[in-house]
Amino acid sequence: MSIQATDPQTVARQILGEISGRAANSIDASTRLSDLGLDSLGRLTLAVLLEERTGRPLPDHKMLSVRTVNDLERLLTSSERSA
């Protein structure tokens, strides 16, 4: 059984690491999702895994504006606050 983090930053980087094949600790806030090689299928996988692990929906129009890891972490934090 894998241990899954709950804070937005760790969750985001853990999932991005799983999808891109890179070590989570090599991903920093300024990393762009495109630099991680995320294509459209990768973005779909990211959205679905984030929703599954955080239990909160991520609207498509908000995910569309996510370019960097920092953008993603801010989105997750704001959705956590509004939950």
Footprint of another protein on this chain (CB under 8 A)? 32, 34, 39-41, 43-44, 47-48, 60-61, 63-64, 67
Provide the minimum distance between the beta carbon of 3 and another protein in the complex, in angstroms, as a whole number: 28
Distance CA 46, CA 5 (A): 15
Sign for the pseudo-dihedral over CA of 65, 71, 19, 46: negative
Provide the minimum distance between the beta carbon of 41 and another protein in the complex, in angstroms, as a whole number: 7
Residue 17 or 42 with smaller CB distance to another protein: 42
Residue type, 5: A
Distance CA 54, CA 37 (A): 23
Provide the minimum distance between the beta carbon of 1 and another protein in the complex, in angstroms, as a whole number: 27
